[in-house]
Amino acid sequence: MDHFDSPAFTRAAAHLAELGVNSTSWTNIVVAAEALERGLTVRRSRTQPRMVIEHRGTVKTWAGGSTSHNADLAERIAAQKDVASRLLRNQRIGAPENSIFGPEETSRAWSWSEPFERTVIKPANGKQGREVHVGLETEEQFREAFRRVGSVTERVLVEEFRPGVEHRCLIVDGVLQAATLRRPGSVLGDGRSTVEQLVAAKNASRGRYHRKLPLDEQVDAHLARAQHTAETLCRRRANASSSTRSRTYGPVATPSMPLITSALRSAPQSRRRRARCRGCASAASM
């Protein structure tokens, strides 16, 4: 039995279902379980199907990662990657340079991106990692990626590519509580199985709250750049870093909400807090 089936999480999921709140969201279950364990009241909002946590007169809402801790303006800015990038750069927080183009502006976008060694193309409003094309070097790669993204959105974001390690940081009231290492889905060759078989095996072993690794056109295109297909027999690799990536993702899809909130503050911050926020920004922007 995996940790997703622990009694605390099972009780929390049942409690949320009884309240009429989304009981399949992993973040909802974790937050509800921790709140109930601490003796806090977990109920449904009177106006919306979201979770409300109460304790000694303090009330906070939570819905799949969206919380009343975050200001409305911060949420609106975080949803617009170009605006968020400019805000962070103006605050001297590392963020890649980017610009928005329409689906018919391929040539103009290519000219704008030419100074960059490599580029990223993705929907400006975020699609949970869908249609994110990274590390584009040639004009042919650029135009094909731009065409694909332009077919699903009216606002195509072209961005400077910055390689590095990606972390998602959880900050509560200006204090870093946790950091999660994020990396693209991958499979490791065993010398006997194809890429497709390895992906199927990994998906079968993933917990029910984890999304399955896809095998779609975007993955096929990525494999083709490495002269592979889904039917390629993967040789046995001793080093996990040599694994065949099943999908490529760019830098953090949505800038960290606490970073946006921090950048919006007009009051001077203490030197210690400013340093902490910048440190989290470097981790999140890589």
Domain edges within the chain = 3-67, 73-162+259-285, 185-245
Q: What is the pLDDT of residues 35-48, one digit of tens each?
A: 999 999 999 998 88
Span 113-123, average pLDDT: 94
Q: pLDDT by residue (tens digit) across 197-213?
A: 888 998 898 876 677 88
Q: Is the pLDDT of residue 15 over 60?
A: yes
The pLDDT value recorded for residue 177 is 84
Q: How many CB atoms are closer than 10 A to CB 78?
A: 21
* 186: pLDDT strictly greater than 70: yes
pLDDT of residue 209: 64
Give this prediction's pTM: 0.61
- The class level of CATH for 73-162+259-285 reads alpha beta
Instruction: Look over the chain and give the mean of its residue pLDDT values, rounded to a whole number.
Output: 78
Q: How far apart are CA 138 and CA 116, in angstroms?
A: 11
Query: Residue 200 has which token pair?
Result: 């199927």
Answer whether residue 164 shows pLDDT above 70: yes
Say if residue 244's pLDDT is above 80.
Answer: no
Q: What is the spatial distance between Cα 271 and Cα 209, in angstroms, rounded to a whole number?
A: 40
Q: How confident is the model at residue 258 (pLDDT cuts 50, 70, 90)?
A: very low
- Is residue 273 scored above 50 in pLDDT? no
Model pLDDT, residue 129: 65
Confidence band, pLDDT 50/70/90 cuts, at residue 173: confident
pLDDT digits (tens, 9 = 90+) for 124-145: 886 666 788 888 999 999 999 9
186, β-bridge pairs: 245
For residue 227, the one-letter residue type is Q
Other C-beta atoms lying within 10 Å of the C-beta of residue 121: 29
If we measure between CA atoms, which residue out of 183, 181, 156 comes closest to residue 168?
181
CB 164 within 8 A of CB 284: no
Residue 102 has pLDDT above 90, yes or no: yes
- Residue 3: its pLDDT value, please? 54
> Which has more confidence, 3 or 118?
118
User: So what's the pLDDT on residue 25?
Assistant: 85
Query: What local confidence, expressed as pLDDT, does residue 5 receive?
Result: 63
